[in-house]
Amino acid sequence: MFYAIALTFVINMLGTTLPTPLYPGYQHEFGFSELMITVIYAVYAVGVIGSAILAGRLSDQFGRRPMLAFGLLLSAASAVCFIFANGVGLLLFGRVLSGASAGIFTSTATIAVIEAAPDVLKSRATLVATAANMGGLGLGPVVAGLLTEFLPWPLHLVFLVDIAMIAIAFVIVARAHETAERPRHPSFKIQVPGVPPEVRPVFLPAAIAGFAGFAVLGLFAAVAPAFLSDVLHIEQPAIVGFVVLVLFLASTVGQIAQARLPGNWPLPVGCVLLVVGMILVALGLGMASLGWLISGAFVGGLGQGASFRAGMGLVTAASPNHRRSEVASSFFIVVYVAISIPVIGLGVLASWLGLVVSGMLFTAGIALLALISLIWLLQEPLVDHAR
């Protein structure tokens, strides 16, 4: 069941990014602004943060299977909202439900995949979980783009297909073995995230780099369709999906590759790649070049993956054993805020300055954050704290 559980992870995360290439269609259908597109995308983070805080503890108390099943139900409900949407209201509610589903799976499915791994695959379990997470996120826009471009019902068929895949995932979860050791008397107590003072010297630069990296994910997942159509005059949803796929696949590669770097190199290298990636994206916008934009997506994705995985590892290693879950939750809250508030700010800027100028300012802001983290790291390497 190891790979089957990983497949449910892919299916669920795929559903969270399906709307990406459809935003121009919704904009045309319902007549809302570019700012509203960023708001619709960004409310996803509200659901992610809320459920991520609760899901880890609840899955320990009640088991992985019930939480995974609940996450799939939320994902199906989100798809139903998109199918019947006749305005902004259901789109917003659908995104919140999708975020809640993603938050449950990010915390619970990662653990479930690792726990379900047979002994011969234990060393690869974390990699499989990471690949399932990022691979699903990357496949969502591609699947939606292809279905939208080549088949009828562009704003509906993709979510009917999503519900069919969720049904398959639900059967897998129903037949899976429970891997958690549930307490005899489950507790509903909520753990409020926090960061102990002794962890903050590690947490702050790692969180800054993580924030910058996830802002890149928000940039492409929310605004890539508008960049491609308005700046590059490319309106094929399949191409939109491909560009976003490049970013998420590169993130997976970055997460894998950072483990091969020595000592205290992974996080600084991730920051450098983020800076270079944003320069390439800015060139793509300024020169209206798809090649530069895709290059920026690839390099920025490498930087996001490397900085996120390295930062998470350092923060976890520096945390006291009894507060690791709490600190990890705090780290996830910071990075998921990065895919909401900054993207809304980009939407506001775009309404004043246009997509090109606002996009270049946004990439400059991400690069600046990565540089701040890099300078901090060069002055005081975090590997000493992690030990």
Write down the pLDDT at residue 270: 95
Under a CB-based contact definition with an 8 Å cutoff, are residues 157 and 147 in contact?
yes
Tell whether 370 and 255 lie within a shared domain. Answer: yes
190 part of a folded domain: no
CA dihedral sign, ordered 185, 186, 187, 188: negative
List of residues 6+ apart from 284 with CB closer than 8 A: 290, 291, 292, 293, 294, 295, 296
Min mean pLDDT across 143-157, 258-272, 331-345 is at 331-345
Tell whether 334 and 199 lie within a shared domain. Answer: yes
278 part of a folded domain: yes
186 part of a folded domain: no
Write down the pLDDT at residue 193: 66
Residue 360 has pLDDT above 50, yes or no: yes
127 part of a folded domain: yes
Residue 332 has pLDDT above 90, yes or no: no
Tell whether 137 and 220 lie within a shared domain. Answer: no
pLDDT tens digits, 45-59: 888 888 877 766 677
- What is the span of the domain harbouring residue 286? 195-387
Tell whether 205 and 350 lie within a shared domain. Answer: yes
Under a CB-based contact definition with an 8 Å cutoff, are residues 13 and 142 in contact?
no
Min mean pLDDT across 56-70, 128-142, 240-254, 352-366 is at 56-70
Q: What's the number of domains the chain is made of? A: 2
- Residue 121 amino acid letter: L
Give the pLDDT mean for 21-32: 87
208 part of a folded domain: yes
Tell whether 225 and 317 lie within a shared domain. Answer: yes
pLDDT tens digits, 71-129: 999 999 999 999 999 889 999 999 999 999 998 888 788 788 888 888 888 877 877 88
358 part of a folded domain: yes
Tell whether 111 and 247 lie within a shared domain. Answer: no
325-363 burial, b at 16+ Cβ within 10 Å, e below that, comes to: bbbbbbbbbbbbbbbbebbbbbbebbeeeebbebbbebb
Give the pLDDT mean for 161-180: 92
Higher pLDDT, 184 or 375: 375
Domain CATH code at residue 53: 1.20.1250.20
Tell whether 57 and 205 lie within a shared domain. Answer: no
pLDDT tens digits, 228-267: 888 888 888 889 899 999 999 999 899 889 888 887 889 9
Domain final residue pick, 178, 205, 232 = 178
Tell whether 170 and 207 lie within a shared domain. Answer: no
183 part of a folded domain: no
Tell whether 174 and 233 lie within a shared domain. Answer: no
Tell whether 215 and 342 lie within a shared domain. Answer: yes
Q: How far apart are CA 317 and CA 315, in angstroms?
A: 6
Which residue is it, tokens 């506001």?
348
Min mean pLDDT across 123-137, 202-216, 310-324 is at 310-324
Q: Kindly state the percentage of the chain with pLDDT values over 70.
A: 93
Write down the pLDDT at residue 384: 43
The pTM of the full predicted model, rounded to 2 decimals, is: 0.84
pLDDT tens digits, 280-303: 999 999 999 999 999 999 999 999
Question: Which two structure tokens, joined as six digits, stand for 136?
Answer: 């699903």
Q: Taking the CB of residue 305, how many other CB atoms lie within 10 A of it?
A: 27
Q: How far apart are CA 212 and CA 339, in angstroms?
A: 9
Question: Which two structure tokens, joined as six digits, stand for 306?
Answer: 């490397």
Which residue is it, tokens 């209201």?
89
32 burial class (0-12, 13-18, 19+ CB within 10 angstroms)?
middle
351 part of a folded domain: yes
The model's confidence at residue 322, banded by pLDDT at 50, 70 and 90, is low
Length of the chain: 387
Q: How far apart are CA 353 and CA 194, in angstroms?
A: 38
Domain final residue pick, 131, 149, 178 = 178
Domain final residue pick, 150, 178, 206 = 178
Tell whether 225 and 356 lie within a shared domain. Answer: yes
The model's confidence at residue 321, banded by pLDDT at 50, 70 and 90, is low
233 burial class (0-12, 13-18, 19+ CB within 10 angstroms)?
exposed
Tell whether 217 and 342 lie within a shared domain. Answer: yes
Min mean pLDDT across 20-29, 105-114, 313-322, 328-337 is at 313-322
Write down the pLDDT at residue 383: 47
Q: How far apart are the first and last CA of the chain?
A: 35
